[in-house]
């Protein structure tokens, strides 16, 4: 695909609010980023040993405001006009606002596990199989039913103060426009949404003592917002009347941005967390057990599994074992190690488990340690352990989408380590192709906006740049299959049923 060209107007401003950073990037009408108009800032949730993972929503809004102002300052020099704003945000988050539109809770992340007990109580009250078949979500602390039930049980005063529950993307628009809308994409990741009927699930709302008006009106990309309120209308005059499309889930945007928009391609993302997903167009869906199912929009479904522990585990091990001094040397040493030569078995659940067992109380284990083991052995075993968890997701996904190959890999944690990418290919026994899209979620949001504006047709067939191919080694694959069985046996022995 040709490189970015300032003559390719109009431009799309994308905001990507992720779990580890925020980005504001301008894309041209070919969905190519303009390197001169790219600003970003680090971000992390506040965490503690009790499972907390939340953030101050107003501080996060201020960070987004600063990024928009910075990217517009660069855009005014050479890149106008801007036709629309597209937004990608982390899925499965929630906050509460009062009658004046002020946030009265933090933004609770998908990684917050304090609602594990509430999820267990909910499972005793309802038929989880039926709930999952409608919503595509199990009753797990990642999703809103457990979180809202937990808030109601532990902080009833705050729960009563909340007039409106919403995601951060909705809150951002409430601040910018004085009103908000929840995209089908963001709604589909709440655990409160009927995927086939495209509506909030009445049974769950009743169980949680929620009224439909306490949730945002549902919308899609044909319902953008316009008309910024002050002071933003004065600050960002060029954005005042352009369409701001409803925030979309980052996983859906990532698939689209990396070129995985059809059932014959699977996207594997490994950043702080991890996911393996297939996106396709259909009128309705039958949702199999253990996998989740969300939407990109009214036409497109997204199915797969997610890991809470991806690059998070890698970073924790590097810091804990003090292996950070020379990253290149570390990568070289890991690459020289034989598959499973250490004999260790790792359960990589530092932040609990999502797919496929959905045990929020699961915790990490290293089994088989002896005097001869070194920190590097534990690190290599941890990387292999994450790949084994992906293999469980893949086996379920291939039952629904058997032709979903090759696998397109994205995410900084994976692409910065060719050795880890090769491990994943060897464990899965399938070719893995590294994506050359550096910001897949941002690019996906831009493509969805271009489609909604009528400036791009058939985004399923717009190619995404690809990089190195990693072919599986059959001998390594066989060895890893035995090691994966060992991990599964340890899982069954140590991780209690949820």
Distance, CA of 429 to CA of 394 (rounded, Å) = 11
**201 and 316 co-located in one domain:** no
**200 and 325 co-located in one domain:** no
Query: Could you say which of 251, 267, 288 is where a domain stops?
Result: 251
Confidence bin at 440 (pLDDT 50/70/90): very high
Distance, CA of 3 to CA of 465 (rounded, Å) = 11
* Number of domain units in the chain: 2
460 within a domain of the structure (yes/no) = no
**417 and 342 co-located in one domain:** yes
Please list the residues that pair with 14 across neighbouring strands: 25, 86
**111 and 220 co-located in one domain:** yes
Confidence bin at 6 (pLDDT 50/70/90): very low
Residue 3 is given by DSSP the state P
Distance, CA of 404 to CA of 395 (rounded, Å) = 11
**32 and 175 co-located in one domain:** yes
67 within a domain of the structure (yes/no) = yes
Token pair of 394 as six digits = 């893949």
- Write the pLDDT tens digit of every residue in 201-228: 999 999 999 999 999 999 999 999 999 9
Predicted structure pTM score: 0.92
293 within a domain of the structure (yes/no) = no
Residue 273 neighbours by CB under 8 Å, 6+ apart? 19, 111, 306, 307, 308, 309, 310, 311, 312
Domain holding 243, by residue range, is 11-251
283 within a domain of the structure (yes/no) = no
285 within a domain of the structure (yes/no) = no
CATH code, domain with 343: 3.30.420.40
488 within a domain of the structure (yes/no) = yes
**64 and 208 co-located in one domain:** yes
184 within a domain of the structure (yes/no) = yes
Residue 121 neighbours by CB under 8 Å, 6+ apart? 149
297: preceding bond cis by omega (within 30 degrees): no
**330 and 244 co-located in one domain:** no
**55 and 163 co-located in one domain:** yes
Residue 477 neighbours by CB under 8 Å, 6+ apart? 426, 427, 429
Give yes or no for residue 267 having a pLDDT over 90. Answer: yes
Confidence bin at 391 (pLDDT 50/70/90): very high
**244 and 315 co-located in one domain:** no
Query: Could you say which of 251, 282, 300 is where a domain stops?
Result: 251
Strands (DSSP E) contained in 296-340 are 300-307
412 within a domain of the structure (yes/no) = yes
**181 and 319 co-located in one domain:** no
Query: Could you say which of 251, 270, 295 is where a domain stops?
Result: 251
Give yes or no for residue 305 having a pLDDT over 50. Answer: yes
């Amino acid at each position: 695909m040709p490189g970015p060209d300032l003559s390719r107007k109009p431009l799309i401003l994308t905001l990507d609010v992720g779990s580890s950073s925020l980005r504001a990037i301008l894309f041209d009408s070919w969905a190519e980023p303009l390197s001169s108009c790219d600003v970003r800032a680090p971000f992390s949730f506040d965490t503690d040993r009790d499972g907390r993972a939340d953030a101050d929503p107003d501080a996060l809004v201020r960070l987004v405001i600063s990024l928009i102002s910075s990217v517009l300052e660069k855009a005014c020099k050479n890149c106008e006009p801007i036709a629309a704003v597209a937004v990608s945000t982390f899925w499965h988050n929630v906050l509460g606002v009062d009658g004046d539109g002020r946030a009265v809770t933090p933004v609770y992340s998908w990684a917050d596990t304090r609602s594990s007990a509430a999820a267990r109580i909910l499972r005793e009250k309802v038929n989880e199989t039926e709930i999952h078949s409608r919503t595509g979500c199990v009753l797990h602390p990642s999703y809103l039913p457990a979180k809202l039930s937990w808030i109601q049980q532990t902080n009833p005063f705050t729960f009563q103060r909340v007039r409106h529950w919403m995601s951060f993307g909705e809150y951002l628009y409430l601040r910018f426009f004085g009103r908000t809308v929840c995209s089908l994409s963001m709604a589909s990741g709440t655990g409160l949404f009927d995927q086939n009927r495209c509506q909030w699930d009445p049974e769950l709302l009743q169980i949680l003592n929620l009224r439909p008006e306490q949730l945002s009106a549902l919308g899609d990309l044909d319902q953008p917002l316009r008309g910024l309120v002050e002071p933003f209308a004065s600050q960002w005059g060029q954005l005042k009347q352009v369409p701001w499309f409803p925030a979309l889930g980052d996983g859906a945007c990532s698939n689209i941005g990396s070129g995985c928009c059809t059932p014959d391609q699977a996207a594997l993302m490994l950043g702080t967390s991890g996911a393996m997903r297939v996106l396709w167009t259909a009128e309705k869906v039958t949702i199999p057990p253990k996998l989740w199912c969300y939407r990109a929009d009214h036409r497109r479904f997204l199915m797969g599994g997610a890991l809470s522990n991806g690059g998070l585990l890698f970073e924790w091990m590097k810091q804990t074992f003090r292996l950070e001094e020379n990253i290149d040397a570390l990568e070289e040493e890991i690459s020289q190690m034989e598959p499973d030569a250490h004999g260790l078995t790792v359960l990589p659940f530092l932040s609990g488990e999502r797919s496929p067992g959905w045990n929020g109380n699961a915790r990490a284990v290293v089994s088989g340690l002896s005097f001869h083991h070194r920190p590097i052995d534990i690190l290599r075993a941890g990387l292999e352990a994450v790949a084994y968890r992906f293999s469980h997701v893949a086996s379920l996904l291939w039952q629904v989408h058997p032709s979903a190959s090759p696998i397109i890999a994205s995410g900084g944690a994976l692409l910065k380590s060719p050795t880890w990418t090769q491990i994943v290919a060897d464990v899965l026994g399938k070719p893995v192709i590294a994506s050359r899209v550096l910001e897949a979620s941002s690019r996906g949001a831009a493509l969805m906006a271009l489609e909604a504006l009528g400036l791009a047709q058939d985004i399923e067939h717009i190619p995404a740049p690809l990089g190195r191919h990693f072919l599986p080694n059959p001998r390594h694959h066989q060895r890893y299959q035995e090691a994966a069985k060992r991990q599964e046996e340890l899982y069954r022995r140590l991780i209690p049923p949820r």
